[in-house]
Amino acid sequence: MTIVEAAPRTAERFQSRLDEGGVLDRRYTLAHADNATLDLVDTDGRAHRCTDFMSAYAAVNFGHRNPSIERALAASSDLTGLFHGPEAEQVARWLCGRLPAPDSRRVLYQVGGSFAVAAALALARRRRPGRVMSIDGAFHGLGVDAAALTSVQRAFSLHDTGFADRLAPEVVHLPVGAVPRDWDDVSCLIYEPVQGAGGYVPLDRDWLGELTAAAAAAEVVTIADEIQCGFFRHGMFSPSAAWGLDADIVLYSKSLTNGMYPLSAVVYRRFLEAGAGPLYLAHTFQTGTLGTAAAHEVTRFIDGTDVTGLAAAVGARLTELADRLRAAGLARAVHAVGPSLSFEPTAVASGDLVRRAFAAGALVFSGGRHGERIRMAPPLTIPDAQLAEGIELVWSAAGGGRAGGR
C-alpha cells in the first residue's frame, strides 16, 4: 500500500468540504487503487481498505489503474491550438462505428458531461428552435442549462441557486409513460435509457421506443444521454442502440477514458451541421492529448477483451443478491440491469446502509430523487471472489444478518 501523509485531525485543512466526500462520517484520502480495491487514509492517519462498488460513478468500468489503459500516460503531452492528435480521429471512427449508420455521424469532443449536454442542446436548437423536453427523474449535469433539465437531486447541488429556474419556460419535464401529441414547439428530446442519478432505473423500452419514434416523426432531434449508462455499465455499449432507438445525438463521457481524463464525446448526425456556417466550439482544453490517448486505449481494451462476458458474470452475481433481498423483504423497486443493481432498502435508510457497508469494506452509493435508493456498480474486471465477499457485506448492511451468513 502506498503511504500517504495525512493531515493531523486538529490541523487546518485547506481542501473544501463542499464536495461529496462529506457524505461519509470521516474525510478520506485515496492512497492507492487497484482494479476494484481502494486503499484510503482518514484524517487521523488510519488506513481503510474497501471494494469499490461505485466504479467512480461509472467512470472506472474497466478497473482502477487498468494496465492496458494506463499505457496512455506514456503518450506525448504536446498541446497546441487548432490541432488534434491522431488518436482523436481513431476514437471518433470507433465511436461512430458502434452506432447505426456510422458514415452519417461525426464526433465533437468536449470536457466533462455537462459540456457535452450543453453542446448537444446547442446543435439541436440551432437545427430546430424550440423547447427542450426531458424525462422526469433525469439527471443531465450541473451546468445551468443541464440543471434546468434535471429533476432529481437538485437540492444537493451547489449550483442550484435559481439560475436554472429562469430557464423553466424553455423546458418540458415529461412524465414517464406519456407521449405528447403536439411537438410543434419542441426542439429536442433528451433521455437517459437508464436513469443514473435517479437510482439506476431503466426506462420502459416499449414506451421509450414509442416516444422517440413520435419525436422523430415530428422532426424533433433525439438525444440519448449515455454518460453514465454507456460503455457496458449495464451490459451494453450503447443502450439506445441496443434497444433500436437510433438517437440523432449520443453522449459519452466518464468511462470513455476509464476515468483518466474528463473527456466527453458528442456523437451526432451530420445533418445537424447544416446551416451552422462558420460557427465552431472551442475551449482551453480542446486538444487535451491525454483524453484522446486514454480513450484510444479504452477502445483497444474493449476490442481485445470479452467485455460482454465480464458483464454477464458480474450481472449474475448481482441478480442473485437481488433475488435474496426481495425474498427477505429487505428491498423494493429492485432493478438488476446487467452488471449493476439498484434498490430501495426497507430495513435501514439508504444513508445508513452506505455507511454500514463502507465501515465493513464495501463502497456503495445512494441515488434517487431524494437519495433513497442504493446503487451497486462494480468494475467489470472485479475478481469473482472479491465480488462475492463484497456482496455479503452489502447483504449484511441491508439487514440480512452477519456477513457471510444467509
Coil vs helix vs strand at 268: strand
Q: Which domain holds residue 178?
A: 68-303
Confidence (pLDDT) at 1: 37
Asked if 372 and 294 sit in the same domain, the reply is no
The answer to whether 379 and 36 are in contact (CB under 8 A) is yes
How confident is the model over 378-395, as pLDDT tens digits?
Answer: 999 999 999 999 999 999
Q: Is the residue at 57 inside a domain?
A: no
Q: Is the residue at 345 inside a domain?
A: yes
The answer to whether 245 and 208 are in contact (CB under 8 A) is yes
pLDDT tens, the chain, 406 aa long: 344 444 455 556 788 888 777 778 888 999 999 999 999 999 889 999 999 999 999 999 999 999 999 999 988 777 667 788 889 999 999 999 999 999 999 999 998 899 999 999 999 999 999 999 999 999 998 888 888 999 887 777 777 788 888 999 999 999 999 999 999 999 999 999 999 999 999 999 999 999 999 999 999 999 999 999 999 999 999 999 999 999 999 999 999 999 999 999 999 999 998 866 666 766 666 657 789 999 999 999 999 999 999 999 999 999 999 999 999 999 999 999 999 999 999 999 999 999 999 999 999 999 998 899 999 999 999 999 999 999 999 999 999 986 543 3
Q: What is the CATH number of the domain that holds 102?
A: 3.40.640.10
The answer to whether 104 and 269 are in contact (CB under 8 A) is yes
Q: What are phi and psi of 321, to 5 degrees?
A: -65, -40
CA dist., res. 132 & res. 207, Å (int): 19
Confidence (pLDDT) at 164: 83
How many degrees, rounded to 5, is the angle at CA 138 between CA 312 and CA 253?
A: 60
Q: What are phi and psi of 232, to 5 degrees?
A: 70, 15
CA dist., res. 295 & res. 99, Å (int): 17
Domain end, chosen from 255, 288, 303, is at 303
Domain end, chosen from 272, 303, 334, is at 303
Q: Is the residue at 48 inside a domain?
A: yes
Asked if 174 and 33 sit in the same domain, the reply is no
Asked if 97 and 182 sit in the same domain, the reply is yes
Confidence (pLDDT) at 351: 94
Q: Is the residue at 14 inside a domain?
A: no
| The total number of structural domains that make up the chain | 2
Confidence (pLDDT) at 112: 87
Asked if 282 and 147 sit in the same domain, the reply is yes
CA dist., res. 197 & res. 371, Å (int): 9
Q: Is the residue at 363 inside a domain?
A: yes
Coil vs helix vs strand at 385: helix
Asked if 111 and 169 sit in the same domain, the reply is yes
Asked if 153 and 209 sit in the same domain, the reply is yes
Q: What is the CATH number of the domain that holds 330?
A: 3.90.1150.10
Asked if 268 and 238 sit in the same domain, the reply is yes
The answer to whether 134 and 149 are in contact (CB under 8 A) is yes
CA dist., res. 289 & res. 171, Å (int): 35
The answer to whether 363 and 53 are in contact (CB under 8 A) is yes
Asked if 255 and 345 sit in the same domain, the reply is no
CA dist., res. 398 & res. 279, Å (int): 53
Domain end, chosen from 286, 303, 320, is at 303
Strand duo 221-225 + 186-191: pairing:
parallel
DSSP string, 282-335: --TTTT-HHHHHHHHHHHHHHHTS-HHHHHHHHHHHHHHHHHHHHHTT-EEEEE
Asked if 209 and 348 sit in the same domain, the reply is no
CA dist., res. 165 & res. 154, Å (int): 11
How many degrees, rounded to 5, is the angle at CA 174 between CA 173 and CA 180?
A: 130
Asked if 329 and 214 sit in the same domain, the reply is no
Q: Is the residue at 148 inside a domain?
A: yes
CA dist., res. 253 & res. 109, Å (int): 10
Asked if 233 and 291 sit in the same domain, the reply is yes
Compute the radius of gyration of the chain from its Cα atoms.
21
DSSP string, 194-234: EETTTTSEEPPHHHHHHHHHHHHHTT-EEEEE-TTTTTTTT
Tell me the whole-structure pTM to 2 decimals: 0.94
Count other Cβ atoms within 10 Å, centred on residue 336: 22
Confidence (pLDDT) at 11: 59
Q: Is the residue at 4 inside a domain?
A: no
Asked if 222 and 98 sit in the same domain, the reply is yes
Q: Is the residue at 60 inside a domain?
A: no
